[in-house]
Structure 1
Amino acid sequence: MEPQQSDALDVARIREDFPILEREVNETQLVYLDNAATTQTPEQVVDAICDYYRNYNANVHRGIHQLSQEASVAYEEAHDTVAEFIGASGGREEMVFTKNTTEGENLVAYAWGLNELGPGDEVVLTEMEHHASLVTWQQLGKKTGADVKYIPVDEQGYLDMDAAEEMITDDTKMVSVVHVSNTLGTANPVSELADIAHDHDSYIFVDGAQAVPNRPVDVEEIDADFYAFSGHKMAGPTGIGGLYGKKHILEEMEPYLYGGDMIRKVTYEDATWEDLPWKFEAGTPNIAQGVALAAAVEYLEDIGMERIQRHEEQLAEYAYDRLTEEGDVEIYGPPGDDRGGLVSFNVDSVHAHDLSSIVNDHAVAIRAGDHCTQPLHDKMGVPASARASFYIYNTREEVDKLVEAVDDARQLFAQ
């Protein structure tokens, strides 16, 4: 398959950095359309991991020997690189490395929420939240007695902002909202929600797992108090993510985990904590992954985030239009010209799991299930949906191949 050149990107050139895309499945070249779950990793990022293990593999902040010094510098500078990428002017002090977005949610919930929330307080979420946000705050509400409320999603997949204005009150202590929905593709007005939250002296947590990989993000322009994302969704390795927090809030919070490297002084009676961000990074961190996350950031910056966003949106609109032409396909979320780089859908009389399996026979990898948004699927009245999601190396030809595979599934179940 000879890839077309996107209006935004030289896709053929980019694909050269991802040798996995040459892999064959069922004797057919792979079409990878499961990027909202995990993107593929370019050679440049793999090289960064290998370079660490081959040349300066050592623990950070624990030795004065040469290798430890080199590892410490690389790991610390990675925080600065990632912080700058999302517009955090405070640098490493405002950038905590986590395992993923989910850990970022839990860190804030337990390091901040467990101490600050109680009966009479409220946490406001949205009906399109990923389980990482929904379940975390739901369970914290049970522990603290705080009430959890949900901003409704309308039939087109947009947030009901009039309801948001009414639901966020002086009793609200935290608003947690997904920046881009991993099921609907909706890009939420996070800056507007931040303004509403701050008018009521509430904090706002933004789940950026589906935004940081594919569009310019400026946490200070958004005025987010917390913002979390995952490396494996942005051409980086698994096991690493980022949590941005405003410095003055992070300084006031107690640690979430205890152990080595996050302490300044320990006696048998008590302990004091290390400076930011290390007080939230207990134990030996994912050093190689942190260095590689910075390499992924540099890789994406070389391409250009505005161009990446345009490319994904073009593919999503094309997929939306092609699938709509099929007639018996229901697509969830906003119109094709107003969505992030994914399309969730169902085909009449074909369960999403069956569809995904048949599509896989054509070497097309998509996601099927509730996408960790089970309550949202309940609201939509479907047990599951299929999801095609795009990234920098995908093409219109690959969308065409998806549609052809969907046609075969339809014909199979019509027999």
Structure 2
Amino acid sequence: MDDGATKQADEVAHALSVADALGKTSNNTSSGFQNITDGLRELDMDNYDEEEDGIELFSTGLGDTFYPSNDMDPYLKDEDDDDEEEIEDMTIKPSDAVIVCARSEDDVWILEESDNGDPNIYVHHDIIIPAFPLSTAWLDCPLKGGDKGNFIAVSSMEPAIEIWDLDLIDEVQPFVVLGGIAKEKKRGKKISVQYKKDSHTDSVLGLAWNKEYRNILASASADKSVKIWDVATGKCDITMEHHTDKARIMLCPGVVQAVEWNRHAPQVLLSGSFDHTVVMRDGRIPSHPGYKWSVMADVESLAWDPHTEHSFVVSLEDGTVQGFDIRAAKSDPTSGSKPSFTLHAHDKAVCTVSYNPSVPNLLATGSTDKMVKLWDLSNNQPSCVASKNPNAGAVFSISFSEDSPLLLAIGGSKGRLELWDTLSDAGVARRFGNYSNRRVNAAVTAEP
């Protein structure tokens, strides 16, 4: 035995003798000391460094067990629960409402109904877009094959229109790009821009998807043109330049602000401009000049009444909303028919309007005066049913849900999504409450 082992054995023997002495002299004070000697002997300090068979290195000595899979390990149950919760959050259920909210980043929100009936809203995923969004349009176009699609068209201050696949998570580039810049050349202090064939040459301010012809998308631009695109081929089929600004010089003369397809006559397109006109064109007859209405101020937005093919409303920069009946239209471009009604809806510009797709005569308006109002348009005699400040800032976009008819999505200058269950208002419940018995299962869009 070497010197180290001899020294260790002596130390152990000395400790045992001391413990034995302590045990003998302390019997009257505490019975616990008597167990020290037995405890040290049981540890067998002489053979401390020798491992016994069946004892694993790094074992706790508590009978550690090897589990073939994480599913069988009880200590990993919490982690599995987290994974299951994440999978559940990413799964879109039939009872969920999907809301696309465009801002400096494009977010896809889920509104679900909890077990107790209370709504729960959260971000499902987000899409980073390269420029500030100006308009969106959801597309049910089967660009990847099959019968259906789930895409969002986004326009911005750029001349290009990007179409993103909403079924992809962490998407890094659009599925399709319509138009845009082909190349730029810098010549001294000047930059020469070459655009793609048939592209817009300025910001795209409005988009409208055709629900009947699902591959067709219309766009309105600050370059004074309206274009009709085939998103399946990525090409522009028709370019219309029927808007000008002859009345006065403005910052953006002749800007075409909004476009909207007629649900009942899907080839008919409505467009409104900063030139104080609204024009209706038939895509089947591109050579026809269409029909024109004059309005009192810059056009902010417009919408066809989904419950009749003859009526539409247009909202204006001066806070008014006007309704028109196309049956009174005249083909003479120098004159326009009188409106069915003129409504002084807000104190400032009415940036957005939304007809309720399920409730006849119910129109929502949103304004830079930070208010959202609901109107009953029965008999062309508008009456205010409810009004609310949704705390969204200046209101830029509103949209009723298709299948939860009294749910309204709101986007504004504060950059966050707001939802208004309009049925919670007593006036709405009293007048339109019989339309509230349908469950949530919708896609709506809003652009703060």
TM-score tier (shorter): under 0.3
Instruction: Give the strand-richer structure, 1 or 2.
Output: 2
Higher relative contact order structure (alpha carbons within 8 Å, sequence separation ≥ 6): 1
TM-score, structure 2 normalization = 0.23
Higher CA-based Rg: 2
